[in-house]
Amino acid sequence: MPPRTLTSLIIATSLAACDAGAGASGAGPDVVVETRGDTTVVRTLSGNVWGADATLVPQLSIGEVEGPEEFLFGAIGSIAVDDDGRVYVLDRQAFNVRGFDADGAHIETLGGPGEGPGELSTTGSIAILPGGRVAAQDPLNSRIQVYGPEPNETEAWRYESGAFVLPFKPLFVDPLGRILVAAPQSSAPGDVVEQVAVLGADGVQQDTLIPPHGDFEPPSVEVYVPMFERSVTSPVPLTARRHWTLNPDGHFVTGVSTDYRIDLEGDAGVLRIERVYEPVAVSEAERSYHREDTTRSMRLTQPDWSWNGPLIPETKPPFRGLISGRDGRIWVQLWTEAYPEENEDYDPDNPRSDPVTWPSPLRYDVFDSDGTYLGAVVPPEGFADYPQPIFDGDDVWAVTRDALGVERVVHFRLQVGGGNR
């Protein structure tokens, strides 16, 4: 076992003072810090800086039920925000990107359906490049359409990708102006290797990176696919997964949700965030729902399929997603207790439709870039976790969906307890 230096620090008021804000209360987090080689572990035992759960208060909404076409969204697939608060929205139905100023006024529409210069035949994610250029991913064609900086100026940047499955990952832009795009490769169906293509500021691919997950493989079941003449695997519901995102500095943020442990790569080593947590129980009814749903789905491919993998667990993993904010904060999407809800769109003739669903309310843990646990955020009703929200300090931009399914992009401000920050 390698030598280990223990800096066992019980940090309370010192961490609480770093970013308490106007609405915070309490003594702050109880933390142990350890140094293990080039890895610094910040483990929160209890408490947090804010002292109370935070919510998100709407500041501006873009999108209408009726009105000018540029404010009517069909299916929002990605959003991006520049340093001046301008908001860009990718509409997967219209195959275009619409730009709005910080007050919500429409300023431009980019792209459109097609194969020509600046046009999109498929839609992935968008990002803002240095100089105000807008990048839109056309994933099935393994290219990125770049708009600007001059009006009607476009470029097409190519990258290597060959996967059968395309993850819904955002585009990342690092301080050097390089763009990083999820570009998985696959030698056979079901054997997908997650990787990231790195394109320079000139659009030429420079490198390919693989997130450092170790050798973890999620618990899975197998199904035989006649088309491929082989079996492929599918993860068991509510089990641990590999998660990754990229920090604004271009380094990976990774975690395997077997434990509450998240690694932030850096030039000087790794910062590991850990937190003591109470596992969320899975009821027998929820386990039955997921087992029946998986079985029904598998039998569409293999009619005689029966369960052939690990059982659905009795507790959920600690987290289900990682997002790095533009300011370097880490937002950890948590697993929460689910509840049964009648499916108003249930179609008994559709084998993939369920009469009852089990939604889990959204909740995020938020950590500062040094591993300090700031607290939890409970978004309001209608807040969507897809497409990925934009987090920047106390400002959040996200898609919302109302009871009629109307989509809008909303600028929120974080509020702790009953006070403003």
pLDDT, residue 16, reads 39
pLDDT, residue 90, reads 97
Is the sign of the CA dihedral 81, 86, 89, 95 positive or negative? Answer: negative
Give the pLDDT band of residue 1 (cuts 50, 70, 90).
very low
pLDDT 10s digits, 70-89? 999 999 999 999 999 999 99
Is the sign of the CA dihedral 95, 97, 98, 103 positive or negative? Answer: positive
Half-sphere exposure of 222 (CA within 13 A, CB side): 7
DSSP-assigned states of every residue in 186-198: ESSTT-EE--EEE
Q: Which residues contact 207 (CB under 8 A, 6 or more apart)?
A: 197, 198
Q: Above pLDDT 90, what percent of the chain?
A: 76
pLDDT, residue 215, reads 83
Q: Tokens at residue 378, please?
A: 């409970």
**pTM, full prediction:** 0.91
- How high is the mean pLDDT of the chain? 89
DSSP-assigned states of every residue in 335-399: P-----EE-TT--TT-TT--SEE------EEEE-TTS-EEEEE-PPTTB-SSSPPEEETTEEEEE
Q: Which residues contact 388 (CB under 8 A, 6 or more apart)?
A: 78, 168, 170, 323
pLDDT, residue 6, reads 37
Q: 96: burial class by Cβ within 10 Å (0-12, 13-18, 19+)?
A: buried
pLDDT, residue 166, reads 54
Instruction: Say yes or no to pLDDT of 272 above 80.
Output: yes
Instruction: Say yes or no to pLDDT of 164 above 60.
Output: no
pLDDT, residue 28, reads 86
Q: Tokens at residue 305, please?
A: 């399929």
pLDDT 10s digits, 201-216? 999 999 999 988 778 9
